[in-house]
Amino acid sequence: MFLRFFKTAIFLSLFFISALFATAGGLEELKLKKRIGLGVVAGGPFSVLGLEIDINVTEEISVSGGLGTGLDYSTFTIKGKYFLLGEKFSPYIGAGLARWWTDGTSETNIGPSILKNKFLSDSNYINGFNIWLLYPALGVQYIHPSGVSFYAEIQALFKLPTFANGTYAGLGALVYL
């Protein structure tokens, strides 16, 4: 419990420090020139691993979506992000919708633990499950002038309609074309 709090505190500190030093630089031009990013994501609303497409609508706003896997189930997510532009690092806030589902699995130790402990009440997954999640997100993105990008993000996942919740985090790498 303390370790999770410590990691969250460090992440939020880095987020706000990068926001203080964010200055609009060459990213505005880069984001308007390279609008579409394709990449991979580990964790977050994709659960374990996913493929993502990100579209820069403006230099400060992007929308993304993708498909992923929790190994024994499938995931889908869409989200929007608002960036505080910096020279290479841009902190952002975001919001999204995700779906985690399966038609059934014989696995008894399904992960991640947030799914098993917070969102599923039944330990028998043979009949499957269908979970819809809403989430706000805080993140920071690094973009190289070549279009290669890395980001780290923390989310508060809320199950619909019960609003059972938990925090989760993800890392991603994108290449903007």
pLDDT tens for each residue of 65-112: 999 998 889 999 999 999 998 877 899 999 999 999 988 777 767 777
DSSP tally for the chain: helices H, then strands E: 3, 8
Could you read off the pLDDT of 13-64 as tens digits, one per residue? 555 544 444 444 567 777 778 889 999 999 999 999 999 999 999 989 999 9
Domains assigned to the chain: 2-176 (2.40.160.20)
Q: What is the pTM of this model?
A: 0.79
pLDDT over 80 (residue 113): no
The residue among 25, 137, 146 whose CA lies nearest residue 88 is 25
Instruction: Using alpha carbons, select from 112, 136, 146 the residue that is nearest to residue 42.
Output: 112
How far CA 102 is from CA of 51, 71, 110, 115, 130, in Å, comes to 18, 10, 12, 13, 7
- Identify which of 151, 72, 62, 131 has the alpha carbon closest to the alpha carbon of residue 105: 72
- Asked if 43 and 169 touch (Cβ cutoff 8 Å), the reply is yes
Q: How far apart are the first and last CA of the chain?
A: 41
Q: Residue 39 contacts by C-beta under 8 Å, 6 or more apart in sequence?
A: 51, 52, 54, 149, 172, 173, 174, 175
Average pLDDT over residues 137-166: 94
